[in-house]
Amino acid sequence: MFAKTTAPAANQDLLIWKMLFDRQTALLHRRAAPAFSQGLARLGLRREAIPDIRELSEVVYEETGWQLAPVGRPFDPPAFFALLAERRFPIVTRIRPMHAFDFSPEPDLFHDLFGHVPMLLDAGLANFLHELGRAYVAQPEGSPAREQLWALYFFTAEFGMVQHEGRPMLYGAGLLSSAGEIHHCVNEYTPRPAFDLASVLRTPVTGARFQNQYFMLPAWELLTECVAELAGLLSAAWSLAA
C-alpha cells in the first residue's frame, strides 16, 4: 500500500512527508478529534512511506464505499462537489515544497492523504460530504446557494473544530495538516464561535491565509443533524425562487 521512492524528486517528497508527519502527529496529540486518530490508526498511515493512492483507495472503499481520485491540481468547486456526490474524494498528487512547509495555500498530497482520508472513515462525516455534494450539484449554475455550500464545506471539513469531553478538538483537514494553522487556531485571541448553520453559510471563505475565525461544533452529532437543516433551508430558498 505504500509507494516506493527511488528517484531524487521522490526522495525529496518522502523527506517532506516524514517531516510533516512527525510534526503534525506531535502537534495533534490531544488536539485531534477521536475520529481522526481512529481513522489514522485503521489506515495504518506511517512516516516511513507515502501511501500509494490507488491501493489506499481500495482500503477506503472496503471500509466506507468511498474511492480516492488522484488529480494533478485542486479542482474548482463544481468539479469537486460533483466528485463528492459520487462518493469520490480528489487527492492532489504533488506534495508542497519546503518553503510552504508550515502552511500550504492550497491542497497538496499531505493535506489530502493525512488530513482528509482518515476522516473519511467516519460514517457521519462521509455522509455529510456526500450530502453536500448532492446538494451542490442540484443547484443551478450561478446560484448563491452554491457559494453557501462551499462555505459550509470550508468551515467544517477544512477548518472545523468540535467540543469533545470539554476540550476543543480539530477535525478539519486544513487544521490537521498545517502547523501554522494549528498555532493560529489555538491562539487565545483567535475567535472560535459556536457552530451555527446560518452564520456559517454567510461567512466569506478566505483560502490563501489563516482564517479569521473557526466554528466550534458543540457535539460531533450536530454535523449530521445540520444536513437535514440544510436541506430545509435550500428547499425554502428554492421555493421562493420558483
Residues with catalytic function: 111, 116, 158, 177
Residues with Cβ within 8 Å of residue 149, at least 6 apart in sequence: 81, 132, 135, 136, 139, 230
Cα dihedral 75, 78, 79, 82 in deg (nearest 10) = 140
